[in-house]
């Protein structure tokens, strides 16, 4: 009887985020797994009940910090449904461009952290370098690298600067060339293949039962992508493929995320072409004054309660880089939302840890947890 429970975390170089993975091991073999989260629980849902609809946006960026635009988009779609408002079309295309660029940046961050766990050091630098190019694009029109606060109920905050689309196209061309290098670095490396092939297998049936979505589900062969199955915003008018792989192991998840990045580049190119040819407003013109148009006066006037505003409930589901995220916003006629509830994909992916961790060795934990693509800010909210 040499079994013991081992704590990997909350301070551990491998766990990307603040959580504790308790493993029950017998020597090197994993017998049971109990992930412990909550070390970053900041009560975002409770704080949001004291904030205006546009002030909750700042919390959404920090909720999932590697995919800020995706969570902003998700919350904004639900709020607009609850408040019975709709954005102009140019704003919707801008939001989709933000979300797809954010998908590339999030997958590059995943890539940079994942390969370090495997043991490859230089792809970390390449991934961060290319991610910085995208963050420079974000900085040029929002002003920030990570926490943008760019989307508003009824549209987005401001339009793109001049010359942005040309710069973005240059970045997309560069990325297309670099993805070839990434594949050569990883798939051509015996260390990578030896550490990743056949690990962390989770079948599609188990995924559906445990609520796992996103690249983990698509790596098991199931072609489910909310952008294709339940198109939101302007995805119905865009042309892209859904990335699917067989094998359900860590290498399959790597392949799915690489392909998703290529498809995102394709989507961004289409959106840039549309944006070049369709100028227009980026914020709806008939917004209620208490909601805070960009130039709402400060002080007591800005917080006037609007009586008799119709109540509503909004639900939105998006395909976030980590999986399917959902928001449920309850509007009871006041200037603050009555309740906001979010569903995080990594929450479900982590809760299914028993299915893909038991039976492997302790040394297999970094590749498997890296392939789950963990961002603890959205698990704990």
Partner 1 sequence: MQPDDLAKALTSRLGNQLIGVETFVGMAGRVRFRSEAALDLFRTVRDDLGFRHLSMVGGIDWVDHREVFYVVWSDDDHQYAILSTDLPADQPHIESATPVWESANWHERETWELVDIGFDHHPDLRHLLMPDGYAFHPLLRSFKLHEPEELEVKRRSV
Partner 2 sequence: MTDVPALPKVAPTMAESYRLTGELPMVGEAAVPFIEIETVRAKEFIPAAKEAFSALIIEQGQSKVLRPTFNWAGRNSLFPLHWGLACCAIEFAAAFSARFDAERFGIVPRSSPRQCDLMIVNGTVTWKVAHKLITLYEQMPEPKWVIAMGNCATGGGPFRTAYSVVPGVDKLVPVDIYIAGCPPRPEAMIDGILKLETLIRERKE
Binding residues vs partner 1 (CB under 8 A): 37-38, 41, 43, 45-47, 49-50, 81, 208-211, 213, 224, 229-230, 299-300, 303, 305, 313-315, 317, 324, 326, 328, 330, 332-336, 338-339, 341, 343, 347-348, 351-352, 380-381
Does residue 66 bind partner 2 (CB under 8 A)?
yes
- 132, containing H or E segment: helix 122-142
| Whole-Å CA distances, 199 to 6, 223, 359, 370 | 21, 21, 10, 12
- Closest CB to partner 1 among residues 36, 183: 36
- Per CB under 8 A, the list member of 3, 28, 50, 276 interacting with partner 2 is 50
DSSP line for 226-267: HHHHS--TTGGG--------SS-SHHHHHHHHHHHHHHHHHH
Does residue 65 bind partner 2 (CB under 8 A)?
yes
- Closest CB to partner 2 among residues 39, 309: 39
Q: What residue 224 binds from partner 1, partner 2, none (CB within 5 to 8 A, per partner kind)?
A: partner 1
User: 273 Cβ partners below 8 Å, 6+ apart?
Assistant: none
Q: What does the alpha-carbon distance between residue 149 and residue 154 come to, in Å, rounded to a whole number?
A: 14
Phi and psi, residue 83, nearest 5°: -100, 5
User: 71 Cβ partners below 8 Å, 6+ apart?
Assistant: 60, 61, 63, 64, 320, 325, 342, 378
- Per CB under 8 A, the list member of 18, 21, 199, 346 interacting with partner 2 is 18
Does residue 40 bind partner 2 (CB under 8 A)?
yes
User: 306 Cβ partners below 8 Å, 6+ apart?
Assistant: 288, 289, 290, 335
* Least distance to partner 1, CB of residue 202, Å: 12
Looking at residues 98 to 127 of the shown chain, list those that interact with partner 2 (rule: CB under 8 A). 109, 112-113, 124-125
Footprint of partner 2 (CB under 8 A): 10-13, 16-18, 38-44, 46-47, 50, 58-59, 61-62, 65-66, 109, 112-113, 124-125, 128-129, 131-132, 145-147, 376-377
């Amino acid at each position: 009887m040499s079994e013991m429970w081992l704590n990997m975390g909350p301070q551990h170089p491998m766990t990307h985020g603040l959580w504790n993975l308790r493993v029950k091991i017998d020597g090197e073999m994993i017998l049971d797994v109990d992930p412990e989260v909550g070390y970053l629980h900041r009560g975002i849902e409770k704080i949001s009940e004291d904030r205006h609809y546009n002030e909750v946006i700042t919390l959404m960026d920090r909720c999932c910090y590697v995919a800020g635009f995706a969570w902003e988009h998700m919350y904004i779609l639900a709020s607009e449904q609850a408040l019975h408002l709709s954005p102009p079309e140019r704003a919707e295309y801008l939001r989709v461009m933000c979300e797809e660029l954010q998908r590339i940046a999030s997958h590059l961050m995943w890539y940079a952290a994942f390969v370090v766990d495997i043991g490859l050091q230089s792809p970390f630098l390449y991934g961060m370098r290319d991610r910085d190019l995208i963050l420079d694009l974000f900085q040029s029109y929002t002003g920030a690298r990570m926490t943008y606060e760019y989307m508003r109920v009824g549209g987005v905050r401001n339009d793109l600067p001049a010359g942005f689309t040309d710069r973005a196209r240059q970045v997309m061309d560069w990325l297309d060339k670099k993805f070839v290098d990434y594949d050569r670095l990883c798939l051509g490396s015996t260390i990578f293949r030896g550490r990743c092939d056949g690990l962390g297998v989770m079948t599609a049936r188990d995924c559906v039962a445990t609520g796992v979505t996103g690249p983990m589900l698509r790596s098991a062969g199931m072609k489910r992508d909310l952008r294709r199955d339940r198109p939101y915003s302007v995805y119905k008018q865009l042309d892209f493929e859904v990335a699917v792989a067989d094998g359900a192991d860590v290498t399959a998840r790597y392949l799915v995320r690489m392909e998703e990045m290529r498809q995102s580049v394709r989507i961004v190119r289409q959106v840039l072409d549309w944006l070049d040819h369709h100028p227009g407003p980026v914020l709806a013109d008939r917004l209620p004054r208490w909601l805070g148009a960009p130039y709402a006066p400060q002080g007591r006037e800005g917080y006037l309660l609007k009586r008799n505003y119709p109540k509503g409930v909004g639900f939105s589901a998006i395909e976030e880089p980590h999986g399917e995220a959902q928001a449920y916003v309850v509007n009871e006629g006041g200037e603050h939302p009555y309740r906001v509830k979010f569903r995080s994909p990594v929450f479900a992916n982590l809760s299914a840890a028993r299915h893909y961790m038991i039976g492997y060795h302790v040394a297999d934990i970094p590749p498997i947890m890296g392939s789950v693509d963990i961002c603890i800010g959205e698990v704990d909210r």
